[in-house]
Amino acid sequence: MTRHSLTQGLICGLLVMVGPTVAAAQSAPAVVAADQLGNIQTAINKAIGAQAKTIEITTDGNVLVVARVNSNMNASTHEGRNNEAKTIAAIVAGSIGGSSGYGTMSTIRVDYMTRAKASSKAASRAKIVDRVEFRKGPDSVFDFHQT
């Protein structure tokens, strides 16, 4: 019985010591206002000549996701999508550079995807054709990430 209590005490002690360290290492998710995302979307539309409904911008924790939905780039080559994604990432990085709410943003991701029309039963299903990521380095610059 004493051995069991001692083991529990040691485990609890370790959890108390590790708990604050883990919490401090995690950064808070970025908080971005909808109008800021709308401004970024407008800038991307102007720069690449995309139709408004083919670009969706969301945040997922510390990742800013630009979805190119049912765009003509889905039929392009991987290199063609990479080139467009580099342009998109430069616009996003320029837009979020000094903005509050973006300080903890670690990744810009450009997803090329197909999605069924809204009238379809499968409208909520999306298929990712390609994904291009840009990760923030120690110099706070978003660099093209290759896997």
Q: What is the pLDDT of residue 35?
A: 83
Q: How far apart are CA 26 and CA 36, in angstroms?
A: 24
pTM assigned to the model: 0.74
Q: How far apart are CA 99 and CA 36, in angstroms?
A: 9
pLDDT tens sequence for the chain (147 residues):
455 444 454 444 434 444 443 333 445 555 567 788 899 999 999 999 998 889 999 998 999 999 999 999 999 999 999 999 999 999 999 988 767 667 789 999 999 999 987 665 655 688 999 999 999 999 889 999 976
Q: How far apart are CA 34 and CA 30, in angstroms?
A: 13
Residue among 91, 88, 51 nearest 70 (CA):
51
SS3 25: helix
Which domains does the chain possess? 34-145 (3.30.70)
Residue among 145, 147, 131, 144 nearest 86 (CA):
144
Residue among 113, 97, 95 nearest 46 (CA):
95
- Cβ-contact 95, 89 below 8 angstroms: no
Q: What is the pLDDT of residue 103?
A: 77
